[in-house]
Chain A
Amino acid sequence: RKEVEQDPGPFNVPEGATVAFNCTYSNSASQSFFWYRQDCRKEPKLLMSVYSSGNEDGRFTAQLNRASQYISLLIRDSKLSDSATYLCVVNMDTGRRALTFGSGTRLQVQP
Protein backbone atom coordinates (compact mmCIF):
# COMPACT_ATOMS: atom_id res chain seq x y z
CA ARG A 1 0.00 0.00 0.00
CA LYS A 2 1.30 3.47 -0.88
CA GLU A 3 1.96 5.80 2.03
CA VAL A 4 -0.19 8.53 0.47
CA GLU A 5 -2.79 7.55 -2.11
CA GLN A 6 -4.71 9.78 -4.49
CA ASP A 7 -6.96 9.20 -7.47
CA PRO A 8 -4.80 10.32 -10.42
CA GLY A 9 -7.79 11.59 -12.40
CA PRO A 10 -8.03 13.48 -14.63
CA PHE A 11 -11.08 15.26 -13.33
CA ASN A 12 -12.64 17.20 -16.21
CA VAL A 13 -15.16 19.75 -14.92
CA PRO A 14 -16.88 22.81 -16.40
CA GLU A 15 -16.19 26.30 -15.12
CA GLY A 16 -18.22 27.06 -12.02
CA ALA A 17 -18.44 23.45 -10.90
CA THR A 18 -17.59 22.17 -7.45
CA VAL A 19 -15.00 19.40 -7.35
CA ALA A 20 -13.62 17.35 -4.47
CA PHE A 21 -10.39 15.41 -4.20
CA ASN A 22 -9.69 12.74 -1.64
CA CYS A 23 -6.49 11.33 -0.23
CA THR A 24 -5.70 8.55 2.23
CA TYR A 25 -2.52 8.06 4.23
CA SER A 26 -1.12 4.94 5.83
CA ASN A 27 0.62 6.18 8.98
CA SER A 28 -1.80 6.90 11.80
CA ALA A 29 0.93 8.82 13.65
CA SER A 30 1.15 11.45 10.88
CA GLN A 31 1.30 14.92 12.30
CA SER A 32 0.68 17.48 9.59
CA PHE A 33 -1.03 17.64 6.25
CA PHE A 34 -0.94 19.88 3.23
CA TRP A 35 -2.31 20.38 -0.24
CA TYR A 36 0.10 21.59 -2.91
CA ARG A 37 -0.66 22.65 -6.44
CA GLN A 38 1.68 21.86 -9.35
CA ASP A 39 1.29 23.40 -12.77
CA CYS A 40 2.72 21.60 -15.79
CA ARG A 41 6.54 21.64 -15.75
CA LYS A 42 6.63 23.88 -12.67
CA GLU A 43 7.50 23.40 -9.02
CA PRO A 44 4.85 22.46 -6.44
CA LYS A 45 3.41 25.41 -4.55
CA LEU A 46 1.75 25.27 -1.17
CA LEU A 47 -2.00 25.71 -1.53
CA MET A 48 -3.01 25.25 2.08
CA SER A 49 -2.23 23.46 5.28
CA VAL A 50 -4.91 21.13 6.62
CA TYR A 51 -5.90 21.59 10.25
CA SER A 52 -7.74 19.14 12.47
CA SER A 53 -10.79 21.36 12.64
CA GLY A 54 -10.89 21.85 8.89
CA ASN A 55 -10.07 25.13 7.22
CA GLU A 56 -11.21 27.32 4.39
CA ASP A 57 -9.38 29.76 2.15
CA GLY A 58 -11.67 31.50 -0.29
CA ARG A 59 -13.05 28.89 -2.69
CA PHE A 60 -10.92 26.13 -1.17
CA THR A 61 -11.88 23.99 1.82
CA ALA A 62 -9.70 21.28 3.37
CA GLN A 63 -10.89 18.61 5.77
CA LEU A 64 -9.02 16.05 7.86
CA ASN A 65 -10.47 12.83 9.27
CA ARG A 66 -7.84 11.27 11.52
CA ALA A 67 -9.98 8.25 12.41
CA SER A 68 -10.29 7.27 8.74
CA GLN A 69 -6.82 8.64 7.79
CA TYR A 70 -8.42 10.68 5.07
CA ILE A 71 -7.90 14.22 3.75
CA SER A 72 -10.07 16.09 1.29
CA LEU A 73 -9.92 19.26 -0.78
CA LEU A 74 -13.05 20.95 -2.06
CA ILE A 75 -12.89 23.60 -4.78
CA ARG A 76 -16.01 25.67 -5.34
CA ASP A 77 -16.83 27.77 -8.40
CA SER A 78 -13.95 26.29 -10.43
CA LYS A 79 -11.96 28.67 -12.62
CA LEU A 80 -9.95 27.86 -15.73
CA SER A 81 -6.87 28.87 -13.73
CA ASP A 82 -7.54 26.07 -11.23
CA SER A 83 -6.41 23.54 -13.87
CA ALA A 84 -3.36 21.86 -12.36
CA THR A 85 -2.25 18.77 -10.48
CA TYR A 86 -3.13 18.76 -6.78
CA LEU A 87 -0.72 16.96 -4.48
CA CYS A 88 -1.73 15.54 -1.12
CA VAL A 89 1.21 15.80 1.26
CA VAL A 90 1.72 14.28 4.69
CA ASN A 91 4.43 14.76 7.28
CA MET A 92 4.70 11.38 8.92
CA ASP A 93 6.09 10.93 12.39
CA THR A 94 9.19 9.07 11.28
CA GLY A 95 11.79 11.57 12.41
CA ARG A 96 12.86 12.10 8.81
CA ARG A 97 11.73 15.74 8.80
CA ALA A 98 10.57 15.13 5.27
CA LEU A 99 7.21 15.21 3.57
CA THR A 100 5.61 12.29 1.77
CA PHE A 101 3.88 13.27 -1.45
CA GLY A 102 0.99 11.61 -3.19
CA SER A 103 1.29 11.22 -6.94
CA GLY A 104 -1.30 13.93 -7.49
CA THR A 105 -4.76 14.36 -8.93
CA ARG A 106 -5.04 16.20 -12.22
CA LEU A 107 -7.82 18.75 -12.63
CA GLN A 108 -8.85 20.20 -15.98
CA VAL A 109 -11.43 22.97 -15.84
CA GLN A 110 -13.12 23.50 -19.18
CA PRO A 111 -14.88 26.59 -20.56
Chain B
Amino acid sequence: SQTIHQWPATLVQPVGSPLSLECTVEGTSNPNLYWYRQAAGRGLQLLFYSVGIGQISSEVPQNLSASRPQDRQFILSSKKLLLSDSGFYLCAWSPGTGIYNEQFFGPGTRLTVL
Protein backbone atom coordinates (compact mmCIF):
# COMPACT_ATOMS: atom_id res chain seq x y z
CA SER B 1 0.00 0.00 0.00
CA GLN B 2 1.04 3.59 -0.51
CA THR B 3 2.14 5.89 2.28
CA ILE B 4 3.16 9.53 2.31
CA HIS B 5 5.47 11.11 4.84
CA GLN B 6 6.14 14.70 5.72
CA TRP B 7 8.63 16.27 8.09
CA PRO B 8 8.99 18.04 10.31
CA ALA B 9 5.54 17.86 11.88
CA THR B 10 5.85 21.30 13.45
CA LEU B 11 8.28 24.14 12.94
CA VAL B 12 8.77 27.58 14.49
CA GLN B 13 11.02 29.86 12.48
CA PRO B 14 11.99 33.56 12.71
CA VAL B 15 11.16 35.96 9.89
CA GLY B 16 13.91 36.00 7.29
CA SER B 17 15.13 32.48 7.99
CA PRO B 18 15.25 29.75 5.31
CA LEU B 19 12.80 26.87 5.05
CA SER B 20 12.97 23.32 3.81
CA LEU B 21 10.02 20.93 4.09
CA GLU B 22 10.26 17.41 2.76
CA CYS B 23 7.69 14.96 1.48
CA THR B 24 8.25 11.38 0.36
CA VAL B 25 5.87 8.78 -1.03
CA GLU B 26 6.26 5.02 -0.77
CA GLY B 27 4.58 2.19 -2.62
CA THR B 28 3.98 3.86 -5.98
CA SER B 29 5.94 5.05 -9.00
CA ASN B 30 5.73 8.28 -10.99
CA PRO B 31 3.08 9.90 -8.80
CA ASN B 32 1.80 13.43 -9.31
CA LEU B 33 2.88 15.45 -6.29
CA TYR B 34 1.36 18.60 -4.79
CA TRP B 35 2.07 21.21 -2.14
CA TYR B 36 -0.86 22.99 -0.50
CA ARG B 37 -1.05 25.59 2.24
CA GLN B 38 -3.95 26.04 4.61
CA ALA B 39 -4.04 29.25 6.64
CA ALA B 40 -5.84 29.13 9.99
CA GLY B 41 -9.59 28.70 9.44
CA ARG B 42 -9.21 28.82 5.66
CA GLY B 43 -9.42 26.49 2.68
CA LEU B 44 -6.56 24.75 0.91
CA GLN B 45 -4.46 26.79 -1.50
CA LEU B 46 -2.49 24.92 -4.15
CA LEU B 47 1.11 26.14 -4.23
CA PHE B 48 2.95 23.77 -6.58
CA TYR B 49 2.42 20.54 -8.44
CA SER B 50 4.74 18.17 -10.26
CA VAL B 51 4.09 15.46 -12.83
CA GLY B 52 7.68 14.18 -12.91
CA ILE B 53 11.28 14.65 -11.77
CA GLY B 54 12.37 18.24 -12.26
CA GLN B 55 8.93 19.30 -13.52
CA ILE B 56 7.36 21.94 -11.28
CA SER B 57 4.33 24.10 -11.92
CA SER B 58 3.74 27.11 -9.70
CA GLU B 59 0.21 28.23 -8.95
CA VAL B 60 0.78 31.49 -7.12
CA PRO B 61 3.63 34.04 -7.12
CA GLN B 62 5.39 34.03 -3.76
CA ASN B 63 8.71 33.63 -2.04
CA LEU B 64 8.42 29.84 -1.96
CA SER B 65 9.89 27.33 -4.40
CA ALA B 66 9.58 23.60 -4.92
CA SER B 67 11.86 20.91 -6.26
CA ARG B 68 11.51 17.25 -7.15
CA PRO B 69 14.99 15.72 -7.12
CA GLN B 70 13.71 12.13 -7.12
CA ASP B 71 10.57 10.41 -8.36
CA ARG B 72 8.97 10.15 -4.93
CA GLN B 73 10.49 13.16 -3.18
CA PHE B 74 9.05 16.67 -3.16
CA ILE B 75 10.67 19.59 -1.34
CA LEU B 76 9.25 23.00 -0.47
CA SER B 77 11.77 25.76 0.21
CA SER B 78 12.15 29.40 0.96
CA LYS B 79 15.25 31.57 1.22
CA LYS B 80 13.60 34.12 3.55
CA LEU B 81 10.38 33.46 5.40
CA LEU B 82 7.67 36.08 5.82
CA LEU B 83 5.10 36.29 8.61
CA SER B 84 2.43 35.50 6.01
CA ASP B 85 4.09 32.13 5.32
CA SER B 86 2.67 30.74 8.56
CA GLY B 87 0.20 27.94 7.99
CA PHE B 88 -0.40 24.24 7.63
CA TYR B 89 1.58 22.82 4.71
CA LEU B 90 0.24 19.68 3.14
CA CYS B 91 1.85 17.42 0.59
CA ALA B 92 -0.36 15.16 -1.52
CA TRP B 93 0.05 12.54 -4.21
CA SER B 94 -2.17 11.09 -6.91
CA PRO B 95 -1.58 8.29 -9.42
CA GLY B 96 0.48 9.47 -12.36
CA THR B 97 -1.81 7.91 -14.95
CA GLY B 98 -4.95 9.90 -15.68
CA ILE B 99 -5.80 13.45 -14.80
CA TYR B 100 -8.94 13.10 -12.74
CA ASN B 101 -7.74 11.10 -9.79
CA GLU B 102 -8.31 11.65 -6.11
CA GLN B 103 -5.38 12.88 -4.04
CA PHE B 104 -4.01 11.51 -0.79
CA PHE B 105 -2.49 13.78 1.79
CA GLY B 106 0.44 13.51 4.15
CA PRO B 107 0.10 14.44 7.83
CA GLY B 108 1.24 18.02 7.20
CA THR B 109 3.75 20.46 8.68
CA ARG B 110 2.48 23.23 10.93
CA LEU B 111 4.73 26.27 10.38
CA THR B 112 4.74 29.33 12.61
CA VAL B 113 6.82 32.28 11.51
CA LEU B 114 7.59 34.74 14.31
Q: Chain A interface (Cβ within 8 Å of chain B)?
A: 31-32, 34, 41-46, 49, 87, 91, 95-99, 101-104
Given contacts A46-B104, A91-B100, contact A98 B59 (CB under 8 A): yes
Chain B, interface size category, equals 20 to 34
Contact at A96–B105, with CB atoms within 8 Å? no
Residues of B within 8 A of A31 (CB): 99-100
* C-alpha spacing A103/B90, complex, angstroms: 15
Q: A43-B90, A43-B106, A91-B99 are in contact. Are A101 and B44 (CB under 8 A)?
A: yes
Asked if residues B104 and A102 are in contact (CB atoms below 8 Å), the reply is: no
A45: chain B residues at CB < 8 Å are 105
Q: DSSP class of B's interface residues: helix, strand, loop or mixed? A: strand
A43 contacts B105, C-beta separation under 8 Å? yes
Residues of B whose CB lies within 8 Å of any CB of A are 32, 34, 42-44, 46, 49, 51, 57, 59, 88, 90, 94, 99-108, 110
- Asked if residues A103 and B42 are in contact (CB atoms below 8 Å), the reply is yes
Kindly report which residue of chain B lies nearest to residue A31, judged by CB atoms: B100
User: Quick one: given A97-B49, A98-B59, are A41 and B99 in contact (CB under 8 Å)?
Assistant: no
